[in-house]
């Protein structure tokens, strides 16, 4: 019996690609080049399974071909806002993702950004590398204390809870939570957290705000100019969720005019393009979407995709069907 044809749209960790090739008739992206819309549309008619990542856009119009061969989109990543899931499902295509495996590493990056922004680590490193450091002095690069501060977490799923674990138990932070549904009291108690009714109720109370909510149209520009003005002028915004959650033009203005104290970003609205007004903001720390970028996690994500594919082609419901 012929193996299902599978397209891997970007280069994946070598151990995962090797296992994938054992189980399926796999086409790998050796050049690691993002596919264009025409190539992605063709893939849906040529392959039984397409394995997209966040760099692949699959809007509704890609699914309007007369005949589609693809039966499953096994996404490499927990977020799937780049896929029009309604359009895919209307054509009988199953969509899966990879939850759980990247929660810890993404929370680690969120904490990294929070510490770097608060303690002005990016500015300090640039000063050192530029040869501008003149030595220790009492008023040099004075930052903000993280321990004991108030952290607001927007989106209290697996990653949000992993962030709360680090912040509360590691740094003694007071945790406020804003979530679209009620969080069980026992989960809140685990992190000494309090759930608030709205983003507006949360923002004025926080020294740090960390975003862990889904992307997509529903949360586009959730953090906008009006909400940035609600934050303390000393507060910091951290985003490891999705770039579209933050209005980058509004954030740039808030940073330049010191409406807020600073920010840390791992994701951007138009990746890999960065809003030009963000580039020169000294009170901003930026990373190139490194949230899940550890060997253990990236391999774990790939093997989770492989498990979803295997279950699907065995006639089972994949564990991570969305």
What value, to the nearest 5°, has the Cα angle with vertex 91 and ends 217 and 7? Answer: 85
Place of tokens 């050192």: 128
Mapped onto helix, strand or coil, the DSSP state of residue 239 is strand
Nearby residues of 67 by Cβ (< 8 Å), 6 or more positions away:
45
Place of tokens 């950004």: 113
Considering the candidates 10, 82, 166, 289, report the single residue annotated as catalytic.
289
Mapped onto helix, strand or coil, the DSSP state of residue 103 is helix
221 a catalytic residue: no
271 a catalytic residue: yes
What value, to the nearest 5°, has the Cα angle with vertex 199 and ends 279 and 116? Answer: 35
Considering the candidates 10, 158, 242, 275, report the single residue annotated as catalytic.
242
Considering the candidates 125, 200, 229, 271, report the single residue annotated as catalytic.
271
What are the start-end ranges of the E strands in the chain? 5-8, 25-27, 49-51, 72-74, 94-96, 150-154, 174-178, 193-195, 208-211, 236-239, 262-265, 284-286
242 a catalytic residue: yes
Cβ-count burial of 248 within 10 angstroms (0-12 exposed, 13-18 middle, 19+ buried)? buried
**Residues annotated as part of the active site:** 242, 271, 289
């Amino acid at each position: 019996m012929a193996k299902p044809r599978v397209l891997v749209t970007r280069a994946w960790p070598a151990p995962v690609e090797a296992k994938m090739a054992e189980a399926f008739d796999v086409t790998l992206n050796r050049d690691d080049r993002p596919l264009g819309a025409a190539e992605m549309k063709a893939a849906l008619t040529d392959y039984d399974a397409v394995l997209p990542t966040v760099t692949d856009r699959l809007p509704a119009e890609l699914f309007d071909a007369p005949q589609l061969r693809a039966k499953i989109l096994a996404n490499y990543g927990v977020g799937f806002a780049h896929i029009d899931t309604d359009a895919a499902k209307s054509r009988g295509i199953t969509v899966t993702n990879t939850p759980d495996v990247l929660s810890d590493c993404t929370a680690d990056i969120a904490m990294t950004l929070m510490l770097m922004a608060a303690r002005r680590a990016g500015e300090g490193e640039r000063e050192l590398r530029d040869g501008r450091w003149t030595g220790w002095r009492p008023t040099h690069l004075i930052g903000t204390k993280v321990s004991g501060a108030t952290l607001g977490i927007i989106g209290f799923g697996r990653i949000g809870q992993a962030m709360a674990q680090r912040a509360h138990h590691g740094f003694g932070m007071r945790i406020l939570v804003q979530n679209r549904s009620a969080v069980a009291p026992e989960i809140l108690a685990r992190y000494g957290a309090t759930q608030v009714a709205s983003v507006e109720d949360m923002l004025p109370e926080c020294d740090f705000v960390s975003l862990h909510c889904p992307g997509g149209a529903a949360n586009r520009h959730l953090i906008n100019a009006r909400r940035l003005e609600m934050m303390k002028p000393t507060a910091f915004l951290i985003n490891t969720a999705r770039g579209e959650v933050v209005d980058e033009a509004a954030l740039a203005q808030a940073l330049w005019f010191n409406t807020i104290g600073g920010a840390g970003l791992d994701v951007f609205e138009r990746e890999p393009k960065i809003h030009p007004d963000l580039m020169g903001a000294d009170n901003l720390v930026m990373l190139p979407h490194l949230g899940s970028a550890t060997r253990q996690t990236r391999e774990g994500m790939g093997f989770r995709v492989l498990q979803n594919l295997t279950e699907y082609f065995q006639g089972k419901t994949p564990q991570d069907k969305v």
